Structure 1
Amino acid sequence: MSAPAGKLPIVILISGRGSNLQAIIDQAVSGGLPVEIRAVISNVPGVHGLERARQAGIETQVLDHRGFPDRATYDRALMELIDGYAPGLVVLAGFMRILTPDFVRHYARRLLNIHPSLLPRHRGLNTHARALEEGDAEHGASVHLVTEELDGGPVLIQAQVPIRPDDDPDTLAARVLEQEHRLYPEAIRWFAEGRIDFDGEQVRLDGRPLTEPVRLET
C-alpha cells in the first residue's frame, strides 16, 4: 500500500467528538499537511468523530473494546486492524484507552498523543480543574511520543495559555483546545517532512537533539 508521492500515511484513533481529528483533516485537505489519512478508528460506536471522517471521504472503522475479554486481547486486534493500513504514524486524537506495553512497543517512535497540560505537569485526567486548584499561572497542551509511561514520553511541542482570575475548567479547556488544534498538525508535519529522527533514545528535530519541547507562540 503506497502513499501519494510526498505524503505520510497515517491512521488516527478516536473515542469521541474528534475536534483534533477535524483540525488534522482541515490541514490535510488544504494541502498544508502532507499526509494521507488512511483510516479513522474508534473504540466507541456512533461518535461524532466518525461522521467527521466520513464527510471528508476517509475510511472509518469501529473496534468496540466492550466486545473483548481484556485489554491485551483488544490491543492485539487493534494492532492487526491498524497494520492493515500500513501507516507510517499512528495518531491518538482523544483515544481514551490506556494502551498495553505490547501495543506501545509495536508502534515505538511512530505513536503520537496530545495531552491537555504542560507536561510533565498534570499527567492523567481532569487537567484543567487540577491546574486551577493548584493555582498555576499558566496551562496549555503538549504533543508527545507515547511510551509505556502514562503521559511520560518525550514532549515535542507545547503551547501555553495564561490562567485568568475568572477562569473555570470549561473556559480554560476551551482556550487550551484552540491551541491543541494548532499544535497537533504542526507536530505531525514534522514527521511528514522527515524532520524528526532518533539518535539512540534521543529525539532529534532538524538533526539537532530536542532537549526541551518547542514552544509554539500563542
Structure 2
Amino acid sequence: MLKLVVLISGTGSNLRALLDAIEASRDSDQPIDAEVVAIGADTPKANLALTTERGIPTFLVQPSDFPDRAAWGDALLAEIQRWQPDATILSGFMRLVPPRVVEALSPHLLNTHPAYLPEFPGAHAVRDALAAGASETGATIMIVDNGVDTGPIIDQRRIPIHPDDNQDSLHERIKIVERELLTETVRNLALGTINLKEIAA
C-alpha cells in the first residue's frame, strides 16, 4: 500500500477530496491502494480537524517556533520521515520548503498548482491569469524542486476562462481539476504505472 503524508496550510479541501476518493474506491472494482498516514501543517489555522475526525494522526511545525527557516525545515523533515511515507504531498501548503527538505524527499515530493505551468507560477496564479486576459489556464501536478513551481510536471489539464469569471469562480473550477489530477496521480503511483524517478530524470 502506498503511504502518504500530506501537508496543508488552509481548509484542506483538496485533501478532503483525496481522502473521500480513497475511501469511496474501497468498494469499487478499482480501489486506490493508498493510505494517508499523517497530516502536517505549518499554522494552527490549518484545518487539521478534518483529519482527526477520520482518525489520522496530525503534526504542527510552525516556523515561528524556530530560529530560522533551515531549522524549521529540519524539524518538518523529521516529522515527515517519522512516518516513512512513499510520497509527500503539498496540498495547499503555502510555504516554500527549504532545500534540505526537497533534497531528502524528491522526487517523492509533490505539489498541485492552479495553472497550466510554466504559465502563471507563484502564489497568485488565478489572479495573474485573469489579469493577463488569458482565455484559458489550467491545473498541474508536479514534482517539487527548489524553484517556484519549476519542477518536473507529472500531469496537467487546460481549463477555459469564461468572460464572466472572477477569481473565486475560476478558482473553484480549477480546484475540481486539481483534485482529479491529484487522485489519479495517487492511483497511478499505487499501481506503479508512473515512475517519479523517470519523470524527474
TM class by shorter chain equals over 0.9
Distance, in Å, in 1 between the alignment partners of 2:169 and 2:109 is 29
Distance, in Å, in 2 between the alignment partners of 1:42 and 1:118 is 26
**DSSP 3-state at the match of 2:146:** coil
Distance, in Å, in 1 between the alignment partners of 2:131 and 2:161 is 11
Q: How does 1:33-182 map to 2 (within 5 A)?
A: 33-48=32-47, 50-182=48-180
CA shift at 1:159, angstroms?
2.1
Deviations 1:38-84 (A, max 9, x none): 10011111422x11111111111111221111110001011111111
Deviations 1:141-165 (A, max 9, x none): 1000011121011111112221111
Distance, in Å, in 1 between the alignment partners of 2:95 and 2:142 is 16
Structure 1 residue runs of 4 or more that deviate by more than 3 Å after TM superposition: none
**TM-score, scaled to structure 2:** 0.92
For the aligned residue pairs, the C-alpha RMSD in angstroms reads: 1.6
Higher helix share: 2
CA shift at 1:188, angstroms?
1.6
**DSSP 3-state at the match of 2:85:** coil
Distance, in Å, in 2 between the alignment partners of 1:28 and 1:56 is 13
Distance, in Å, in 1 between the alignment partners of 2:102 and 2:130 is 31
**TM-score, scaled to structure 1:** 0.85
Distance, in Å, in 1 between the alignment partners of 2:63 and 2:98 is 13
CA shift at 1:130, angstroms?
1.0
Q: Which residue of 2 aligns with 1:216?
A: none
- 1:118/1:140 contact within 8 Å kept: yes
Distance, in Å, in 2 between the alignment partners of 1:133 and 1:16 is 24
CA shift at 1:110, angstroms?
0.4
- Letter paired with 2:12: G
Instruction: Identify which of structures 1 and 2 has the higher relative contact order when contacts are C-alpha pairs closer than 8 Å and 6+ apart.
Output: 2
Pairs aligned (count): 196
CA shift at 1:198, angstroms?
5.7
**DSSP 3-state at the match of 1:164:** coil
- Structure 1 unaligned runs (5+)? 1-6, 210-218
Q: Which stretch has the larger CA shift, 186-195 or 83-92?
A: 186-195
- 2:90/2:110 contact within 8 Å kept: yes
**DSSP 3-state at the match of 1:151:** coil
- 2:113/2:139 contact within 8 Å kept: yes
- Structure 2 unaligned runs (5+)? none
Q: Which residue of 1 aligns with 2:9?
A: 15
